[in-house]
Amino acid sequence: MPRRDSGARRKAVRSDHGPRTTDHGPLGGCHERPDARAKVAGSTRYVADLALPGMLHAAAAVSPTAAARLVALDTAAARAVAGVVAVLTAADIPGANLVGVIFPDQPLLVADRVRMVGDRLAVVAARSPEAAWRAAALVEATLEPLPAVHDPVAALAAGAARVHDGGNLVKAFRVARGDTRRARADVVVEAVYHVGGQEHAYLEPQGCLAIPEGRTRITIVASCQCPFYVQQAVARVLGLPLAAVRVEQAPTGGGFGGKEDYPSEPAACAAVLAFATGRPVRFVLPRELDMQGSTKRHAMVIRHRWGASRDGRLRFAEVDTVLDAGAYAGISTVVGERANVSAIGPYHVPNVLVTTRVAYTDNLFGGAFRGFGAPQVTWAAEATIDRLARAVGLDPLEFRRRNVLDDRRRRTCTGQLLPRPVLARACLDRAAELAGWDEFHARERAAGPEREGLGIGLALYGCNLHHGGQHLDRSSAVVIVQADGSVVVRVGLTEIGQGNLTACQTIAAQALGVDPAVVQVWQPDTTTVADSGPTVASRGAHASGMAILDAVRRLRARLDPVAAELLGCRPDQVVLANGRAAIAGEPGRSVEVAAVAAEMAARRIEAAATGWYRSRPRRFDAESGLGAPYESYAVACHVAKVHVDAELGLIRVAEVAAAHDVGRVIHRGALEGQIEGGVVQGVGWGTTERLALERGRLANPSFTDYLIPTAADAPKVTIAVLEGAPSGGPFGAKGIGEPSLIPAAAAVRNAVVAALGVEIDTLPLTPPTVVAALGDAHPFAWVAEEENEDARSAAAPASR
């Protein structure tokens, strides 16, 4: 089913928009306009629709096994296929055979060792896609099997088969605050959670078009989130300077993180083929290979030992997380560091010890996915919070109220002091009110196989890049006012359906005092703006918006004096609103902004400016995990109502109440779309989206067998928006893309547990998992237990 975050998952979401707990303030005029969606200039065709004269089609020969030594590669049969122009192996790469975005551990084409099913052995260029894939299937590899490891915990044990020569521990993180061993608690809860991965399920598969200009320059048009990552990877494999590689983002049919780092790989494949043949090369992955070879949400094994007093006050929390990186590091360490500092949630806990280890396995490798590790650890934390509430005899809502961060207790688990107001309690109470928490628990429910339950998920999310990635937390924008008063805006962060360019349009229009309809926002292009870092971590509107505001500030240093001359006032008296320049306090005296622009053109005054944003420097000690990992935070609370068939283990999520701390609303429609889509995607991950891995191979690489929610499965979503908490974003706005997903699966899990009265420690909550949790009393338990073992073994191998 389409999910709302990017155009890929949009149409099928139903929503009751519910109460409006916000007024829109000075931005309100832009929020509800049907014509205020961004006018996006640039390519309007998806990669699969692009074609050029003489264009070739790419395909890849991939490994069918997860661990082997490459002994020989025979490409003769592939080269003999009619229409084949080139077959390339690792020896043919002109530059470095490396595509790892952080660690130099991943080759573009295997030279000696296979580490996962789907590793590329060779790439083919042919005159038709059919010929290319036929030839790729004829590449013969002689592979010598090697011992494989698929369990991330076992991968860290002594004597485990090594995925890389340096060992299987990629990196470790910790947070150590207080003393958990000396902390006194009346009740102690211990649990081990097996949290499975997730397929991004974007509707448009990975794809790109490489256009060479001799052997000195190349243009890449790609379905991607991070054009500058693609630029760096292509420059590396071709041995070119960055300035010789132009990357333009094509309209992108969904991302969710799956088009952050992975698009660099197909782009590099197409680029080496284009350079070798001197012709444009298009590479579009078929769905099965896309699902088999691309990154996934990381699976994790999370151990908890938490303690509380009899009156329901948290005393300590110990968390040990092992994250399955898969065969290559990718950006698993980025996910690991966020998971590490997010493991406690928005709760006051005086004594904390969190350890997070990132482990290599021979599974599919992990990458970015909406939430960056926070959904997994939040799922575990919220499960333990409910466990503790039951252990001390408190209602789960009341237990959270006693422990949630607020204006009195403002320090996170890393010791960072949050600015007031802290809206965690407000979000909790508002979501509970919308869900009818008290009324639900006051009425009696009939006994029988059909059970009802309410569950809470509460999350705290850092709204920019972690301190470890602070060097990437930057953004560029160009704003040009044309002679007729229309406006061109260019930014370096991408539109993947989340509404980033609509937000950019709204912010630019507000800052210049013009109608959004006259603002054109262009697709990102690496030759028109500076490297703006990745479009991740809900930073799109935040970072782009701040860069736009900086550009407008610089531009107005030239525009305001011209307007002042026309108005007969000082430059500092000029205000821009409703398409006019006026004198502050004298609205009767004004001139159209278009007239000011025309005057600037007549005088040959530059009407363009570049803006720049970088997050404020922060202090964070990586050794202890203490300090300020993020500049600002958003709180999200979901309360889910579920119906569970206790005989069949079937779950139906009927309603979700979602309360979000958003700082300031920029565009109401886009905001609600993000929340609705995030809820549905989180529900799917929590209930049906099981990655069935068998010795590293994905056994369900299609939407027939990998079950995402349909329109009929989407719950009614009621939304409350809370404004006013501090933010460093434009006009006080915070990111919403990831907070909208993070608590959803946790709320569903807790609702199911409340309905059935049994603990469930494995995600997703598929029918076999639910039936197995019900135990031997269930008539189908022996069947379910066998299937659930498969699910648990697959939950360890997955990704970010």
The better pLDDT of the pair 783, 746 is held by 746
* pLDDT of 556 higher than 70: yes
* pLDDT of 591 higher than 90: yes
- The alpha-carbon radius of gyration of the chain (Å, integer) is 27
* pLDDT of 645 higher than 90: yes
- Give 731-774 as a DSSP string: GG----TTTTTTTHHHHHHHHHHHHHTS---EES--HHHHHHHH
Strand runs (DSSP E) across 148-299, as ranges? 169-177, 187-195, 207-213, 217-222, 245-249, 281-284
* pLDDT of 435 higher than 60: yes
Q: What angle do CA 300, 301, 305 make, to 5 degrees?
A: 130
* pLDDT of 796 higher than 70: no
Strand runs (DSSP E) across 404-517, as ranges? 450-462, 474-481, 487-491
Average pLDDT over residues 108-133: 98
Supply the pLDDT for residue 535. 79
Supply the pLDDT for residue 735. 86
The answer to whether 182 is a known catalytic residue is: no
Supply the pLDDT for residue 789. 56
* pLDDT, the chain, mean: 91
Distance CA 397, CA 431 (A): 11
Average pLDDT over residues 652-661: 98
β-bridge partners, 245: 218
The better pLDDT of the pair 537, 529 is held by 529
The better pLDDT of the pair 468, 622 is held by 622
Supply the pLDDT for residue 538. 77
For residues 637 and 658, the answer to whether their CB atoms sit within 8 Å is yes
The better pLDDT of the pair 90, 789 is held by 90
CATH second-level architecture of 47-146+206-284? Alpha-Beta Complex (3.90)
User: Could you tell me the fold of the domain covering 474-614?
Assistant: Aldehyde Oxidoreductase; domain 4 (3.30.365)
Query: One of 676, 738, 749, 800 is an active-site residue; which one?
Result: 738
For residues 612 and 624, the answer to whether their CB atoms sit within 8 Å is no
* pLDDT of 2 higher than 80: no
The better pLDDT of the pair 587, 58 is held by 58
Supply the pLDDT for residue 25. 29
* pLDDT of 352 higher than 90: yes
For residues 562 and 596, the answer to whether their CB atoms sit within 8 Å is yes
Supply the pLDDT for residue 44. 60
Q: Specify the range with the lowest mean pLDDT, choosing from 17-26, 103-112, 139-148, 693-702.
A: 17-26
Confidence class for position 792, pLDDT limits 50, 70, 90 = low
Joined tokens for residue 272: 């080496």
Supply the pLDDT for residue 782. 39
Supply the pLDDT for residue 763. 98
* pLDDT of 1 higher than 60: no
User: Burial of 243 by CB count in 10 Å (0-12 exposed, 13-18 middle, 19+ buried)?
Assistant: exposed
Average pLDDT over residues 116-122: 98
Instruction: Express each pLDDT in 574-586 by its tens digit.
Output: 999 999 999 999 8
Supply the pLDDT for residue 786. 46
The answer to whether 338 is a known catalytic residue is: yes
Supply the pLDDT for residue 8. 37
Instruction: Express each pLDDT in 231-242 by its tens digit.
Output: 999 999 999 999
Average pLDDT over residues 323-347: 97
Instruction: Express each pLDDT in 689-704 by its tens digit.
Output: 999 999 999 999 999 9
Secondary structure tally for the chain: helices H, strands E: 19, 32
* pLDDT of 554 higher than 60: yes
Q: What angle do CA 274, 224, 728 make, to 5 degrees?
A: 140
Average pLDDT over residues 344-355: 98
Instruction: Express each pLDDT in 59-95 by its tens digit.
Output: 999 999 999 999 999 999 999 999 999 999 999 999 9
Average pLDDT over residues 488-517: 92
480, 595, 468: which is closest to 529 by C-alpha?
480
Confidence class for position 127, pLDDT limits 50, 70, 90 = very high
Distance CA 352, CA 176 (A): 6
Supply the pLDDT for residue 467. 85
Average pLDDT over residues 436-464: 92
Supply the pLDDT for residue 642. 98
Domains of the chain: which residue ranges?
47-146+206-284, 474-614
Instruction: Express each pLDDT in 369-393 by its tens digit.
Output: 999 999 999 999 999 999 999 999 9
Query: One of 338, 400, 430, 800 is an active-site residue; which one?
Result: 338
Supply the pLDDT for residue 500. 86
* Residues recorded for the chain: 800
Average pLDDT over residues 666-671: 89
User: Burial of 439 by CB count in 10 Å (0-12 exposed, 13-18 middle, 19+ buried)?
Assistant: exposed
